[in-house]
Chains A and B, each alone.
Chain A
Amino acid sequence: MAGSVSANYVSATAAARTGPLAEPAWVRRTLIAVAVIFLALLLILPLVTVFYYAFKEGVRVYFAALSEPDALSAVRLTLLTAAIVVPANTLFGIAAAWAITKFRFPGKNVLTTLIDLPFAISPVIAGLIFILVFGARGWFGPWLTEHDIKIVFAVPGIVLATAFVTFPFVARELIPLMQAQGTQEEEAATTLGARGWTIFWRIVLPNIKWGLLYGIILCNARAMGEFGAVSVVSGHIRGVTNTIPLHVQIVYNEYKFAAAFAVASLLMLLAFATLAVKSFVEWKYARGLAMKESGESI
């Protein structure tokens, strides 16, 4: 999706500040003002709002909201979910990217499209499908009830729904990256007699590590923040099946705004960390690219 690593190249704006290729100064200023005001109203103000309301009633209320048992159990469940989902989807992403980018086979484009599918689907539908499969009246409902296994309205359902919505992240980051890198290095290693895992650890992984890191961090952000899909399958049992976003909703709907925004600020920090890693990865790539280019010109 957008967010991919290619966004930041060094732009050569300075040359175009004057002359026939430049817009008049008033146009430039107006455009900058429009862009800044648009982003300020829609992005920066909500961000400030979260921290303002989180601390409005003081630091004690803030930390009380975070240390209350229900909040702690929500944090625990969110961490558990991410700990299962992120490695599973990472493993899948690497396998899918390897198969798709290094080999030719019929139906490759269809497969690539199918991997994107969860992004195109409403989170609510992502939750609904697991109710249709594992719910009391679903496909496996009677069997599950007989064997006393709970999947929906319990932790396994939350994990499944989260895995579904975060399914494409790692694969999406890796596919274009590994496509661009081609197969030469791996082929050379194979010819020299390297085995599969040696190739993976020594060649593939070093080449994709930053893109992989970015995919993992995006996957993690979504896994911890998913609301719609998890909301459908959770059953909203306080202290048992509430994740952090669901806990925020419950507290907010009880009009405890300071507490709701306090917990929300945790998720805001997660978003900041995600953006920081993204900027770092882009910087790494831009530097790598610049080094390659200067190396080639010499």
Chain B
Amino acid sequence: MAKGSKKRNILPGFGLSLGYTMLYLGLLVLIPLSSVFFKSFELSFGEFWQIISNERVVASYRLSFATSLIAALINAVFGLAVAWVLVRYRFPGKRLLDALVDLPFALPTAVAGIALTQLYSPKGWIGSLLEPLHIKVAYTPLGIIVALTFIGIPFVVRTVQPVLQELDREIEEAAASLGARRLRVFVQVIFPELLPALITGFALAFARAIGEYGSVVFISGNMPMKTEIAPLLIMTRLEQFDYPGATAIALVMLIISFVLLLFINYLQWRSGRRTAAA
């Protein structure tokens, strides 16, 4: 602040606020998080590989990845429809529905977990309807997908909604006045504008689903090799005091999360630049 030449530097509190931010971030997040890396370095590469290439571990990764991907895809499709309907149409109960979209953010995952399990178990309201069709949801991978879809609903809706709201309708009018049919306007004019937001929402939902624990443990049944997701396997290893095992599995998941975070930041940076340029 001694150098008053730069315009921004006349405000007070830079040193204090940045210092406190770094200290708090370091103590609460960065140092504890580094423990996963340091603990993993205690293993030789051979040992590390043995842990993460174990059949049960690979099965859990595959299950987590596949169910998260399917759930995020479901959310991309239906989330787009929900966002569209909430922005473009009027119908009774719309405001309420709009507010409810955020329920998965506000509701503790354990509550979602037991409620969905109760609903989709063979005796539940929906489960009993599916029973005659021989469709089992609770305690199967299908149940995991239901829970992960629930968790991901707000991400796609809330990233697409503002973009759709601010979309310039003149472009649509221009396309229509040039004789384009409504479907063609949607596919060629509207959809390309929504696509970056849709991908961001998809990636956010996917990233959240990969790490999700609370809502899944109840509905999945937790059978090794069948319905055991990766976060649950970390939990199991911890309960057996197998810290190296838990840490190695966690390291792989952390790396996946970091890659996803960078990808999402890149997407947001790109769309930010696009709007800034426009």
CB of B212 within 8 Å of the partner chain: yes
Please tell me the size bucket of the interface on B. Answer: 35 or more
Q: Is A120 in contact with B114, judged by CB distance below 8 angstroms?
A: no
Q: Which residues, 101 to 119 on B, are CB-close (under 8 Å) to A? A: 101-112, 114-116, 118-119
What total of chain A residues lie within 8 Å of the partner, measured CB to CB? 110
CB-defined interface of A102-125 with B at 8 Å, one 1/0 digit per residue? Answer: 111100000101111110111111
Q: A39-B101, A167-B29 are in contact. Are A187 and B10 (CB under 8 A)?
A: yes
Q: A232 — which chain B residues lie within 8 A by C-beta?
A: 235, 238
Q: Which residue of B lies closest to A113 (CB)?
A: B265
A24: which of B97, B102, B150, B182 is its contact (CB, 8 Å)? B182
CB of B234 within 8 Å of the partner chain: yes
Minimum Cβ distance to chain B for residue A32 (Å): 5
Q: B116 — which chain A residues lie within 8 A by C-beta?
A: 46
Cα-based distance from A4 to B259 in the complex (angstroms): 24
Could you tell me the dominant secondary structure of chain B's interface residues?
helix
Q: A137 — which chain B residues lie within 8 A by C-beta?
A: 243
A275: which of B87, B102, B150, B157 is its contact (CB, 8 Å)? B102
Q: Is B161 in contact with A46, judged by CB distance below 8 angstroms?
A: no
Q: A96 — which chain B residues lie within 8 A by C-beta?
A: 17, 21, 25
Cα-based distance from A120 to B211 in the complex (angstroms): 8
9 residue pairs bridging A and B, Cβ less than 8 Å apart: A2-B102, A20-B173, A38-B81, A53-B118, A95-B17, A117-B33, A129-B35, A138-B35, A221-B106
Binding site for B on A (CB under 8 A): 1-4, 6-9, 11, 13-14, 16, 20-24, 28, 31-32, 34-36, 38-39, 41-47, 49-50, 53, 91-92, 95-96, 98-100, 102-105, 111, 113-118, 120-125, 128-133, 135, 137-139, 160, 163-164, 167, 183, 186-187, 190-191, 195-196, 199-200, 218, 221, 224-228, 231-232, 244-246, 248-249, 252, 257, 260-261, 264, 267-268, 270-272, 274-275, 278-279
